[in-house]
Amino acid sequence: MLRFAMLFAVAVLAAFTGLAGLAGCVGPTFVVQQYAGPVRPRETIATFRVNGGDSVRLITLDEEDVRAPLESDSRLHIELLPGRHKVGVANGPNDLVAAVSFVAEAGKVYRAVYVGNDAHVFEVDRAGDGAGRDVTAPAVIAPAVSAPPAAALPQPEPLKEP
């Protein structure tokens, strides 16, 4: 959505403008809200964190392209409303995107991590970024739907000659 891109651009501009005189400091954290409306209190939203130094790259969030280059000393916090979310992530320079769903809870912080070749979402410690519980939701698979037998379908009326 264009809203994300505009908010991210504003956040980047504000961060670099405000930090121009602070050379040598730890990199910035860019904060972007994914929901509409005014900023909400931290205890009422969830945060999805992307660390610039990690090999995991965030590509999509809820089907929205959110990829953005991050310096290795910076991070991105995307504020989300509680509920089910789906992220598309890639590991390193690999362009193969893995889709992973999770249920976000208010006041919690989450981060995508690869465990072997599989992408997962973990709840992480807000201050130390230590991985907590794996909150990766099982894939939702729709039940197979079988077509009714041909005899049960209504038969078309024969064409009449003019």
User: Which residue ranges make up each domain of the chain?
Assistant: 2-152
Q: Which helix (H) or strand (E) holds 15?
A: helix 2-19
Instruction: Output the six-digit token pair for 130.
Output: 């230590």
pLDDT for position 112 = 92
- Angle, alpha carbons 56-59-65 (nearest 5°): 165
pTM over 0.75: no
The pLDDT-based confidence of 13 (bands split at 50, 70, 90) is very low
- Mean pLDDT value across the chain: 77
The 10s digit of each residue's pLDDT in 120-138 is 999 988 887 778 888 998 7
Comparing CA positions, the residue from 1, 63, 62, 58 lying closest to residue 30 is 58
